[in-house]
Structure 1
Amino acid sequence: MEQILRRAGDVLGTGLTDPVDLGGSSRSAVLRCRTAVGGSVVVKAFKGGDGAVRCFAREAAALSLGLGGPQLLAVDPIVPLFVMADLGTAPTLADVLLGDDPKAAEEGLLAWARGLGRLGAASVHRQAEFERLVAESSTAVAPEEPWIRQSVTKLLLRLEETGIAVPSELAGELARIGTAGGEEYPAFTPGDTCPDNNLLTPDGLRLIDFEAACYQSVFLTAAYCRMPFSTCWCVFRLPPGQTEAIEEAYRTEIVAAYPALAEDAVWRAGMQQAIAAWTVYTTVWLVPRTAENKPLHPRRPSPTARQVLRHRWELAAGLTDFPALAETAGLLLRKIAGEWDDEPLPGYPAFAGGRAS
């Protein structure tokens, strides 16, 4: 920690003291520090390995472009680390969804969806600039296979291990997922737009954690509204009509960049493709965690892997554009989830007393 503070202070041009650990991950350490002039900044330092270098490169590039996150103050590509403006202690979207105020939760969801849509629309023309910055920071790192392709390969292996006789058409359908529309409708995303990575500040939505930042299909982001939160621990059921409202809020903003998305047929097809992609990913990610069946978050209210998987498979069972995947989801519900005794996925605590008016 002393070395991180020293290097961060050197690139920032002022001494840093009193570090407070804000969490981080297996790849990074995140510290709130006091500056010599009395203010505070946030330092994020990455550990070694190709995965950490990729995360640093993506996050530094996103912050350099000012795409929805805190102001980037200084970068040290050697450690590597960067220093950001401190956004303070504003509540996250997770805080309000897990709280007891339905109005705050509903307003937070709409602010989140609109903010992501505006970010996506404003970023479309900056893809080449973003990719150039990422490449400059990770030239020595081997390219990574696209995550959708990785997930498809792993899913087929995992299904084979279960002994379930899946439809013969499944492999062909999974190949059709492609990039879920990323070639036609790309836009910037922080990559991990989960509730705890979205600050609801007095100045509007501010995003944190850009380790997986990239340009991908707008439908993959929109699916976070529908599912909800495709890759998160903070997953519960939303009240009737809420998913439609936040999805439409996102769609209204992103249409400014891609007018074709106003066509319902285009939107429906893209959403089915994105839900298919995320279902494949979630199945691969969570099935190994069903044996221990613990809550997905060690300290905060959260569902179990079984509860999330059942919810995802129920949604996937209605994918009319991917009938083999829909049939497979039905098989998983009957033959795998049918043996679980978990309660169904509950609703978000904030809406326990009914949806806000």
Structure 2
Amino acid sequence: MDEIIRAAGALLGRPLRDPVDLGGSSRSTVLRCRTATGDSVIVKAFADEPAALRAYTGEAAGLSLGLAGPELLAADVERRLLVMADLGDAPTLADLLLGTDPKAAERGLLEWARGLGRLAARSVPWRAEFAALWQRHGQGLPSWEDEPWQRQNADAFLGLLTECGLTAPPGLAEELAAVGTADGERYPGFTPGDTCPDNNLITPRGLRLLDFEASGYQSVFLTAAYCRMPFSSCWCVYRLPADLARRTEEAYRAEVVTRYPDLAEEALWQAGMARAAVVWTVDSTLHLLRRALPEDGPMHRTRPVPTRRQVLRHRWTSALRLPGHPAFTATVRLLLSELAAGWDAPELPGYPAFRARPAA
């Protein structure tokens, strides 16, 4: 930690002191430090392994783009070290959704959706600039949009079914290949990557986004699906009230339509949302199923949230209603009947902040 503080102070041109560990991850160390004048900054130092190298590049390039997130004050490519402005201790969207104030949670959720939609819409002309920034901060790894992660997930999903002793329904491989990345080419928008509730501060000045480690351009439908599912790849997963879920999705859609007017067409929007739901349901299954099969466990180590089995069953049940993907629908029906039938886990509950309202 001392070495990180000295290097960050030298990079910033001001000595730093009084570090507070904000709890990073296996990829990074995150510290809040004071300057001699009493101001605070955030220092983020990344490890030397592939996932951390890509995370550094994503964070540095995404913040350097300057469209969202804290101001990037200094960056050291060789040391994989960033110094950024401190956004303070405002509540996160997760704090509000897991709290007891439904009005504050509703305002935060809609502000989150509008903010992500505005970011996606205004970012479209800056795609080449982001690519240049990725190269400038690059650690020799491709960006997420250059990594065929959806195709890799599709192949891994087919392998996982075999591993579980299940036979993939006819046509599944073709359906998974068809969801592909076409929407990313037709309707790209910038995203911090991890737009889960704990990475979004709800401040008096509005939404402030954190964690740009997976930043890049992707289909706006993949971000919109976070409104509908909700929070496609996150730990903070409960059910939203049906009316609020619709309003959240429409808040995001209203912003991206300003850049992509044809997304106002209902059939086009619903087809794109269905493809995105397939992508994220496959992703959730890959990340959770192997741990959920032998035993259940919570989605977060310290927060009182639902379990992996609850979330998986909810994702699979929701996917039964997806139009235009009969082989995938047959697959989730198989997962529910063959794997989840014996799970002694209650139905996924609604978010604590909205417990008095019926959930979707």
Category of TM-score, reference length = shorter chain: over 0.9
Bigger CA drift: 55-64 or 213-222?
A: 55-64
Opposite residue 323 of structure 2, the aligned amino acid is T
Give yes or no for contact 1:98–1:348 (8 Å, CA) kept in 2. yes
Give yes or no for contact 1:180–1:273 (8 Å, CA) kept in 2. no
Opposite residue 308 of structure 1, the aligned amino acid is V
What corresponds to 1:276 in structure 2?
278
Opposite residue 236 of structure 2, the aligned amino acid is C
Q: What is the CA distance between 1:36 and its match in structure 2?
A: 1.3
Give secondary structure in 1 for the equivalent of 2:63.
Answer: helix
Give secondary structure in 1 for the equivalent of 2:24.
Answer: coil
Q: What is the CA distance between 1:340 and its match in structure 2?
A: 0.3
Bigger CA drift: 134-143 or 177-186?
A: 134-143
What corresponds to 2:39 in structure 1?
39
Give secondary structure in 2 for the equivalent of 1:33.
Answer: strand
- Counterpart CA distance in 2 for 1:293 and 1:72 is 40
Q: C-alpha offsets along residues 265-314 of structure 1, whole Å, 9 cap, x if unaligned?
A: 11011101100100111111110120231111111121111000001001
Asked if 1:239 corresponds to 2:241, the answer is yes
Opposite residue 122 of structure 1, the aligned amino acid is R
What corresponds to 1:10 in structure 2?
10
CA change 1:76–1:254 in 2 (3 A) is same
Alignment TM-score, normalising by the size of structure 1: 0.97
- Counterpart CA distance in 2 for 1:32 and 1:110 is 29
What corresponds to 1:311 in structure 2?
314
- Counterpart CA distance in 1 for 2:261 and 2:3 is 50
What corresponds to 1:354 in structure 2?
357
Opposite residue 277 of structure 1, the aligned amino acid is V
Q: C-alpha offsets along residues 72-116 of structure 1, whole Å, 9 cap, x if unaligned?
A: 111111111110110000000000000000111111100000000
Give yes or no for contact 2:194–2:212 (8 Å, CA) kept in 1. yes
Identity across matched positions, percent = 60
Alignment TM-score, normalising by the size of structure 2: 0.96
Q: What is the CA distance between 1:180 and its match in structure 2?
A: 5.5
Give yes or no for contact 1:102–1:354 (8 Å, CA) kept in 2. no
Q: C-alpha offsets along residues 236-292 of structure 1, whole Å, 9 cap, x if unaligned?
A: 011121111100000000111111101111101110110010011111111012023
Structure 1 gap ranges (5+): none
What corresponds to 2:113 in structure 1?
113
- Counterpart CA distance in 2 for 1:320 and 1:6 is 56
- Counterpart CA distance in 1 for 2:186 and 2:340 is 36
What corresponds to 2:157 in structure 1?
155
1:179 to 178, 181, 202: 181
Give yes or no for contact 1:180–1:219 (8 Å, CA) kept in 2. no
- Counterpart CA distance in 2 for 1:323 and 1:354 is 32
Give yes or no for contact 1:180–1:220 (8 Å, CA) kept in 2. no
1:51-130 alignment runs, 5 A limit: 51-130=51-130
- Counterpart CA distance in 2 for 1:244 and 1:53 is 38
Superposition CA RMSD, Å: 1.4
What corresponds to 1:48 in structure 2?
48
What corresponds to 1:251 in structure 2?
253
Give yes or no for contact 1:180–1:277 (8 Å, CA) kept in 2. no
Q: What is the CA distance between 1:142 and its match in structure 2?
A: 6.2
Opposite residue 64 of structure 1, the aligned amino acid is S
Give yes or no for contact 1:180–1:270 (8 Å, CA) kept in 2. no
Asked if 1:20 corresponds to 2:24, the answer is no
Opposite residue 221 of structure 1, the aligned amino acid is T
Give secondary structure in 2 for the equivalent of 1:183.
Answer: helix
- Counterpart CA distance in 2 for 1:201 and 1:324 is 44
Q: What is the CA distance between 1:141 and its match in structure 2?
A: 3.3
Give yes or no for contact 2:54–2:139 (8 Å, CA) kept in 1. no
